[in-house]
Structure 1
Amino acid sequence: MKQLHVTVEFGGGTELLLAPPHAKTHELTLPWNEGKGGTKRPDVRALVDYIKQNLITEREELFVEGDNVRPGILVLINDSDWELEGEMDYVLQDKDHVVFISTLHGG
């Protein structure tokens, strides 16, 4: 099974949803699924699911809504707005850098 290495950063409060010590930067290794149709690299959808299953310890509804990243969280892929990259359908490349920043603030 092949693996993909991705750096993921959290900011603007999203890091508080993660297990203590609430590290802002994580080096992740994601598996590639290999099947009859060839190798399928993980996309952002797979990354978000991995984060939800392995890094978020509570209140996942503050990070995801349905099967998407919650509105109000800015997502950057290699310093580019994910809307320009295909959002959840963006196929991750080895050494990609993905950032999640909450733009929502209480008052």
Structure 2
Amino acid sequence: MSATGLPLTIEFGGGAELLFDGKKRHEVDLPGEEWTLKRLLRWLRDNLLTERPELFMQGDTVRPGILVLVNDADWELLGEGDYKLCPRDKVLFISTLHGG
């Protein structure tokens, strides 16, 4: 673990990046040590989300149609929001919602 916190790679795809200033990849170093995916979602909403939060979050989780992968594994297999993040985890959010 780094001296300053928890280093993570956060990526967005399938159009989700448009909600985060169009940036697909974010290297972050979160303060402190105990981070779950649920806490990360709140941090993303408060710190990186630049538009239309209702397209990314519903309540305290991602809205239906947003796939969440941690190190290429579906978060549903890892306990969803309760998953404890580890240093250098890669968290990927992919939107399956497309206009037509």
Shorter-chain TM-score bucket reads over 0.9
**1:22-50 deviation line (CA, Å, top 9, x unaligned):** 11000011112xxxxxxx61100111111
* Residue 69 of structure 2 corresponds to residue 67 of structure 1: no
Specify the alignment match of 1:15 in structure 2.
17
Query: Percent of counterpart pairs with the same letter?
Result: 56
Specify the alignment match of 1:30 in structure 2.
30
**Structure 2 counterpart of 1:67, which letter?**
D
* Residue 73 of structure 2 corresponds to residue 80 of structure 1: yes
CA RMSD after TM alignment: 1.3
Q: How many angstroms does 1:2 deviate by?
A: 5.1
Q: Secondary structure in 2 aligned to 1:23?
A: coil
Q: Secondary structure in 2 aligned to 1:50?
A: helix
Specify the alignment match of 1:45 in structure 2.
38
Gaps of 5+ in 1: 33-39
Highest Rg: 1 or 2?
1
TM-score scaled by length of structure 1: 0.87
TM-score scaled by length of structure 2: 0.93
Asked if structure 1 preserves the Cα contact closer than 8 Å seen for 2:4 and 2:29, the reply is no
Q: Secondary structure in 2 aligned to 1:58?
A: coil
Aligned residues: 98
